[in-house]
Amino acid sequence: MYFNQVEFGQRIKEERNRIGLTQEELALRLNIGHEHMNKIERGKRGCSIDILLELSEVFGVSTDYLLTGKRTGDASIRDSVENVMDELSSLLARIDGRLA
């Protein structure tokens, strides 16, 4: 196994989008510049352990997930629940469309 900085940056971007923050907003929360944040997401620059820990806290995911993409048990359960909720929302929308 090896660390892939580009994939790390992509996971940061995905998590940022998941919680609805812009790059600028996340950079402010981390007390770093927007350009630094942009380079992290593009895999052009790494981050300190302090920033990694802060990202983990902001996103509610493990540092292991951010670094390797591997989910722990709790994260896998969260993903499964989110998928089921998305499916149920889709089904409800279809039912509402038929009743209208």
Mean pLDDT of 70-77: 70
Instruction: Name the pLDDT band for 75 (thresholds 50, 70, 90).
Output: low
Residues 57 and 85 in one domain: no
Residues 65 and 84 in one domain: no
Place of tokens 């580009």: 6
Please, what is the average pLDDT of the chain? Answer: 90
Question: Residues 66, 56: contact at Cβ < 8 Å?
Answer: yes
Residues 39 and 60 in one domain: yes
CATH number at residue 56: 1.10.260.40
pLDDT for residue 76 is more than 70: no
pLDDT of res. 74: 62
Percent of the chain's residues with pLDDT above 70:
93
Residues 34 and 17 in one domain: yes
pLDDT for residue 7 is more than 70: yes
pLDDT tens profile 22-71: 999 999 999 999 999 999 999 999 999 999 999 999 999 999 999 999 87
* Three-class DSSP labels, 11-37: HHHHHHHHCCCCHHHHHHHHCCCHHHH
Residues 21 and 41 in one domain: yes
Residue-range definition of the domain harbouring residue 90: 71-100
Residues 12 and 47 in one domain: yes
pLDDT of res. 98: 80
